[in-house]
Amino acid sequence: MQTTYNTVGVIGAGAMGRGIAQIAAQAGSTVRLYDTQAPAIAKARDELHAQWDRLAGKGRMDSQAVAACKSRLQAASALQELADCDLVVEAIVERLDVKKSLFSQLEEVVRPGCVLATNTSSLSVTAIAAGLKQPQRFAGYHFFNPVPLMKVVEVIAGLKTDPAVCAGLAEYARQMGHTPVQAQDTPGFIVNHAGRGYGTEALRIVSEGITDFATIDRILRDQAGFKLGPFELMDLTALDVSHPVMESIYQQYYDEPRYRPSVITAQRLAGGVVGRKVGEGFYRYVEGKAQIAPEPAAPQVAEMPPVWVSTRAARKSELYQLLKDLGAKIETGQSPSPTALTLVAPLGFDITTVAVVERLDPARTVGIDMLIDDAATKRRVIATNPATREDMRDAAHALLARDGKPVSVIRDSGGFVTQRVVATIVNIASDICQQRICSPADLETAVTLGLGYPLGPLAMGNRWGPTNILEVLFNMQTVYGDPRYRPSPWLRRRGAIGLSLMHEES
Ligand code: NAI
């Protein structure tokens, strides 16, 4: 097998180094694995041998390929044994001083044409390269855990990196069966930067007392199609990993409000309630299974009031059709009759503001989230305002649950759960494009492969409408007066003219 780099050094035989060594050997390179802890190398080698045997057992590799991989994986007992490498990838402890010192030693060992790469996830590639004699041959090569299964790698150019080095690393990634994406050297690169919206906005919703963790998880799974809710995800990653990432990206962007972390995770981390691995996070775990209280059943309503829908409701005709299908008695007058349940469907505005602006009786006003069309969701979400009467809330809940679709009832907030979280994700992604950190296409690839979102953030914005997303953000900025909802100019320009977010300016 011909590869871009025939001999590849991997430094650090932990979880990441082992994975990188595996795919490099499978691609056909000779791999020299080095670690300051000799037992770590032996352990990694034994685990990789066992892994290849397992793959052969499953018929995914033949015995010849297994033998070849095993012979290509070689332990290096000193840094000097990496002298003949064409590429060296570092995956050691995440400390700038340790990485810098390693690379300056390595520069003395390897030949001039050897490419040097770091798997850092949070340090600046430029900072690691500073002080090297040949910073132009140095780049970031950021893999995800577990490396063989997470098929994306960020190729990061430092300030002085030669573009040909990035091109070579990208080509080699393809030879290893991975998809490379090109990123500028900025905090969090693409994936860890784009991932800031999901958890932080969900935490913000909880901190405002709008609803609880489990309800937010249900809404984002059922309405927006995420595989895991943000709190399930944080429990899986564990807060001792994810909270420091939130803090680091916020600080590295000089307190940019979009990335502001939450006191909720700071507290939970301090209390050791970090997630599934300790048996308790946002959920309690018994034998590895989250204990989730069942949802309250839809209320029984003896007499259903007539329903009047605001003329300014989002997706008004779809909402009318839905109510008709559910057998509602729909009022069509200019204003609601004195007994009518009044439904509003704002984008970004809270229910209270809508009731006041449209001169509706707040006691009978309930909001429904119509950002996403009803047919595309598995859940409906309604919101009360502080004056909403219980009978009106229950009537809305019972009516919207008539066909068996679950309904979540939340308190008033600018934007419902899905609007807030989706708009924040799209806005952060737009700002990544604005900063030219990567191309829109690479952003989509990185997020779908690296974060497992149902759609790339820009495709998500396109699906629910760039204009709608922009409207959610503008109105939330009005409700909260918080710069975190300020739309990125990139989104603003495209949203204003209703353009696809995948469109690139020439
Ligand atoms: P790990 O703790 O499993 O393994 C690190 C290995 O490096 C250990 O075996 C240690 O003995 C060795 N080591 C430490 N200092 C060394 C030195 N000066 N020279 C040679 N070997 C040294 O760590 P893991 O999880 O494999 O992460 C390694 C790197 O990959 C870190 O920079 C981390 O930020 C990055 N990374 C980690 C991800 C993850 O999910 N674990 C994801 C993406 C990047």
- What pLDDT, in 10s, does the model give residues 394-410? 999 999 999 999 999 99
Q: Please tell me the distance between residue 374's alpha carbon and the centre of ligand 1 in angstroms.
A: 46
Structure tokens, 300: 């029984």
Quick one: pLDDT band at residue 114, thresholds 50, 70, 90?
very high
Q: Percent of the chain beyond pLDDT 90?
A: 97
Question: What atom in ligand 1 is closest to the CA of residue 15?
Answer: 26
Question: What atom in ligand 1 is closest to the CA of residue 92?
Answer: 7
Ligand 1 binding pocket, CB closer than 6 Å: 11-17, 35-37, 40, 91-94, 98, 102, 119-121, 143-145
- Specify the pLDDT at position 499: 87
Q: Return the domain boundaries, the chain.
A: 7-185, 193-291, 307-405
Predicted confidence (pLDDT) per residue in 341-379, tens digit: 999 999 999 999 999 999 999 999 999 999 999 999 999
Q: CATH class for domain 193-291?
A: mainly alpha
Instruction: Indicate if the pLDDT at residue 488 is higher than 80.
Output: yes
Q: Please tell me the distance between residue 18's alpha carbon and the centre of ligand 1 in angstroms.
A: 10
- Specify the pLDDT at position 502: 86
Instruction: Indicate if the pLDDT at residue 506 is higher than 70.
Output: no
Mean pLDDT of the region 442-452 = 97
- Answer whether the bond into residue 146 is a cis peptide, omega within 30°: yes
- Specify the pLDDT at position 247: 95
Predicted confidence (pLDDT) per residue in 185-227, tens digit: 999 999 999 999 999 999 999 999 999 999 999 999 999 999 9
Quick one: pLDDT band at residue 461, thresholds 50, 70, 90?
very high
Mean pLDDT of the region 238-257 = 95
Quick one: pLDDT band at residue 504, thresholds 50, 70, 90?
confident
What's the one-letter identity of residue 306? P
Tell me how far apart the alpha carbons of residues 211 and 413 are, in angstroms, rounded to a whole number. 10
Tell me how far apart the alpha carbons of residues 94 and 351 are, in angstroms, rounded to a whole number. 46
Q: Please tell me the distance between residue 390's alpha carbon and the centre of ligand 1 in angstroms.
A: 55
Q: Whose CA is nearest to atom 8 of ligand 1?
A: 14
Tell me how far apart the alpha carbons of residues 412 and 325 are, in angstroms, rounded to a whole number. 26
Q: Please tell me the distance between residue 323's alpha carbon and the centre of ligand 1 in angstroms.
A: 56
Q: Please tell me the distance between residue 131's alpha carbon and the centre of ligand 1 in angstroms.
A: 22
Mean pLDDT of the region 473-488 = 95
> Ligand 1 pocket test: which of 16, 41, 96 has the largest number of ligand atoms within 8 Å of its C-beta?
16
Residues 199 and 242 sit within 8 Å (Cβ to Cβ): yes
Structure tokens, 231: 């709190």
Helices (H), 341-416: 351-357, 390-400
**Residues 128-131: contacts with CB within 8 Å, 24+ apart?**
128/96, 128/99, 128/100, 128/103, 128/158, 129/103, 129/158, 129/159, 129/160, 129/161, 130/100, 131/100, 131/104
Residues 469 and 426 sit within 8 Å (Cβ to Cβ): yes
Q: Please tell me the distance between residue 94's alpha carbon and the centre of ligand 1 in angstroms.
A: 7
Q: Whose CA is nearest to atom 2 of ligand 1?
A: 14
In sequence order, what DSSP letters do the residues of 435-474 get, joined into one string?
A: TTSS-HHHHHHHHHHHH--SS-HHHHHHHH-HHHHHHHHH
- Specify the pLDDT at position 503: 79
Q: Please tell me the distance between residue 91's alpha carbon and the centre of ligand 1 in angstroms.
A: 5
> Ligand 1 pocket test: which of 93, 94, 154 has the largest number of ligand atoms within 8 Å of its C-beta?
93
Pairing of strands 115-118, 138-142: parallel
Q: Whose CA is nearest to atom 12 of ligand 1?
A: 12
Tell me how far apart the alpha carbons of residues 251 and 460 are, in angstroms, rounded to a whole number. 28
CA-CA-CA-CA torsion sign (292, 381, 239, 272): negative
Q: Whose CA is nearest to atom 29 of ligand 1?
A: 91
Helices (H), 58-95: 63-72
Mean pLDDT of the region 236-253 = 95
How many separate helices (H) and strands (E) can be counted in the chain?
A: 20, 16
Which H/E stretch holds residue 250?
Answer: helix 239-252
Tokens 């997630």, located at residue: 275
The CA distances from residue 491 to 119, 369, 417, 500, in Å, are 31, 22, 20, 10
Quick one: pLDDT band at residue 505, thresholds 50, 70, 90?
confident
CATH no. for 7-185:
3.40.50.720
Q: Whose CA is nearest to atom 30 of ligand 1?
A: 91
CA-CA-CA-CA torsion sign (304, 305, 306, 310): negative
Q: How far apart are the first and last CA of the chain?
A: 39
Which are the catalytic amino acids?
A: 121, 142, 154, 192
Q: Please tell me the distance between residue 80's alpha carbon and the centre of ligand 1 in angstroms.
A: 20
Mean pLDDT of the region 447-461 = 96
Question: What atom in ligand 1 is closest to the CA of residue 99?
Answer: 18
- 153-169: b (≥16 Cβ within 10 Å) or e: bbbbbbeebbeebbebb
Which H/E stretch holds residue 193?
Answer: helix 191-194
- Specify the pLDDT at position 197: 95
Torsion angles phi and psi, residue 148, rounded to 5: -65, -25
Mean pLDDT of the region 236-251 = 94
Predicted confidence (pLDDT) per residue in 258-298, tens digit: 999 999 999 999 999 999 999 999 999 999 999 999 999 99
Torsion angles phi and psi, residue 333, rounded to 5: -70, 170
